[in-house]
Amino acid sequence: MKQISIYDTTLRDGTQAEEISLSTADKIRIAGKLDALGVDYIEGGWPGSNETDRSFFQEIRQYDLSHSRIAAFGSTCNPKGRAADDANLRALVEAEPDAVTLFGKTWDLHVTEALRVSLERNLDIISDSISHMCAHAPEVFFDAEHFFDGYRKNPDYALACLRHAHEAGAKVLVLCDTNGGSLPFEVREIVQTVRAALPEAQLGIHTHNDSETAVANAVEAVFAGAVQVQGTINGFGERCGNANLCSIIPNLELKSGGRFRCLPEGRLKLLTSTSQFVSELCNLRPFMRQPYVGKSAFAHKGGVHVSAVLRNPETYEHVRPELVGNEQRVLLSDLSGRSNILFMAKKYGYALDKNDSAVLDLLDEVKTRESQGYEYSTAEASFELMFFKAMGWSKRYFHLINFNVVDSMREGFTEPYAEATVMLKVGGMVEHTAATGQGQVNALDVALRKALTPFYPTLGEMRLEDFKVRVLHGVMRDSGGTASVVRVLIESADATDRWTTVGVHYDVIHASWQALVDSINYKLFKDDPKKFPVGGKHFPQSEPK
């Protein structure tokens, strides 16, 4: 089995993505996750280019990484000077990384148009920079920028650049498809040709996704002999992104017939959680359709697929989701059939018949509510409440009488003032409370819990973890204003569980109210010792987990 070296550049090339910006603390946390995943190299940044990157290298030295080596990125020396006097190269050495990656020009157009030097001078720059760096850093890699474009235009020159880097001591020559324009067959052919021309050199591959073939290009390069793959978690990166390590790694480990290994034994199953962690720190909504690690990657919607996949997962799943730490999901949706409801019922401990009228009623209700914008595949707690209601559970923990929220801005004040009042009945008692908050939804949440906690002390253990707002209809109403329908998802947690609830309304406060009420009801329901209807129509077949 051949070991492929995984070189992660999320912290450098990944942060070039349009919506991403990371602090030093974020970068340190991501580096910890990458080390746990077991990538061989973590490229921390370009110490010569900015303060955040410089401080990362200082900080990361305080950490004991178990597996990964830290790489620093930089350019070959300034064309006007020598490597020995170059400030950028000095910054790389001072960062004290375990490895240095220098990028250099290999496309004649870039040499003359961007660097504005002769082709000959660029070869000197490469030799001078690489050999200087080899004397000052433990390992040196050469990123051959625009290699594939350069090779297509002037193959002899592109190869000459590689040869100079190799002879100057670069450990790996990394062929970069910087503009992402290459197709898999071109990458395969060019990697094969380069291998034949430089048989003693080790090759790496660095691709971008502008043709939507970055993963395929990297995989083809490895099958053609490359030993190092550069990419990013989730394919984050400038323009269309870099090669996505979350797809390349399982493609190589699970689909090469045992030919390649990328991560230490047992780490592949950390892939999904690593992907989610990085999305979260980058503050990007995870891409649901992302292969292997996305929330939809093993989600089944069509009724026919669902019944087949429940019998035998191989029928509609290319790999077992557990291998990459993901899980199979069955979606509750307007396209779904009764088998999806039965799947959920079973999860809650009920073995129902598909012709049970409760199943049909529930399916009807799900379809109606989804057409209004409710979304139960995420908000499973809201579905669970509906499900148990359909099973005969009718207890109401409290009853709303009124609520009122106010938000105002006054001249001379820099902060807005938000206040909520809530009037509700618990058993026979009327509670009327008020609270202020950071925004109205927060004020409403505080007031609601203030009213209920005396009756239900376990609400004190519960916390609201996340709050998502989505405008469902992109277009305004005819009334000519900002009145769209919004969906609010609230994620809550206590010491043992984590649950999501949903609300939909044109008024964001009312959508939030629905989700808040479901969340509190779910907490009270799950803690309720009398949870199951006695003498009702439906009984659970086993205790729900």
Nearest alpha carbon to residue 385 among 355, 365, 360, 368:
365
**Residues in 170-199 that interact with a copy of itself by CB under 8 A:** 178-181, 183-185, 188
Q: What type of residue sits at position 87?
A: A
Coil, helix or strand at residue 61: coil
Residue with smaller CB distance to a copy of itself, 171 or 305: 305
**Residues in 199-218 that interact with a copy of itself by CB under 8 A:** 209-213, 215-217
Residue with smaller CB distance to a copy of itself, 262 or 490: 490
Q: What type of residue sits at position 493?
A: A
Residue with smaller CB distance to a copy of itself, 481 or 535: 481
**Residues in 298-357 that interact with a copy of itself by CB under 8 A:** 298-302, 305, 308, 311-312, 314-319, 331, 333-335
29 binds a copy of itself, rule: CB under 8 A: no
Q: Could you tell me the two tokens for 175?
A: 């062929």
484 binds a copy of itself, rule: CB under 8 A: yes
Coil, helix or strand at residue 469: strand
Q: Which helix H or strand E contains 69, and what residues bound it?
A: strand 69-75
Work out how close the CB of 388 gets to a copy of itself at its nearest, in angstroms, rounded to a whole number: 25
Nearest alpha carbon to residue 43 among 18, 13, 4, 19:
13
**Residues in 51-70 that interact with a copy of itself by CB under 8 A:** none
Work out how close the CB of 529 gets to a copy of itself at its nearest, in angstroms, rounded to a whole number: 26
**Are 411 and 367 spatial neighbours (Cβ–Cβ below 8 Å)?**
no
**With CB under 8 A as the contact rule, which of the stretches 124-132, 382-390, 500-508, 529-537 interacts with a copy of itself?**
500-508
Residue with smaller CB distance to a copy of itself, 65 or 284: 284
Residue with smaller CB distance to a copy of itself, 80 or 311: 311
**Residues in 225-244 that interact with a copy of itself by CB under 8 A:** 235, 237-241, 244
Q: Which helix H or strand E contains 500, and what residues bound it?
A: strand 498-505
19 binds a copy of itself, rule: CB under 8 A: yes
Residue with smaller CB distance to a copy of itself, 322 or 465: 465
Could you tell me the CA-to-CA distances from 246 to 131, 323, 344 in Å, in that order? 34, 12, 29
Coil, helix or strand at residue 74: strand
x/- letters, 370..409, toward a copy of itself (CB under 8 A) = xx---x-x----------------------xxxxxxxxxx
Task: Report d(CA 531, CA 500) in Å as an integer.
Answer: 19
Size of the site for a copy of itself (CB under 8 A): 129
Q: Could you tell me the two tokens for 153?
A: 């235009």
Residue with smaller CB distance to a copy of itself, 61 or 239: 239
Size (the chain), residues: 545
Residue with smaller CB distance to a copy of itself, 130 or 331: 331
Residue with smaller CB distance to a copy of itself, 184 or 533: 184
Provide CB contacts within 8 A for 323, sequence distance 6+: 250, 254, 268, 269
x/- letters, 435..474, toward a copy of itself (CB under 8 A) = --xxxxxx--xx----------------xxxxxxxxxxxx
Radius of gyration of the chain (CA): 29
Work out how close the CB of 423 gets to a copy of itself at its nearest, in angstroms, rounded to a whole number: 8
Q: Could you tell me the two tokens for 41?
A: 């190299």
414 binds a copy of itself, rule: CB under 8 A: no
Q: Which helix H or strand E contains 42, and what residues bound it?
A: strand 41-45
114 binds a copy of itself, rule: CB under 8 A: yes
Phi-psi region of 412 (alpha: psi -120 to 50; beta: other; left: phi over 0): left
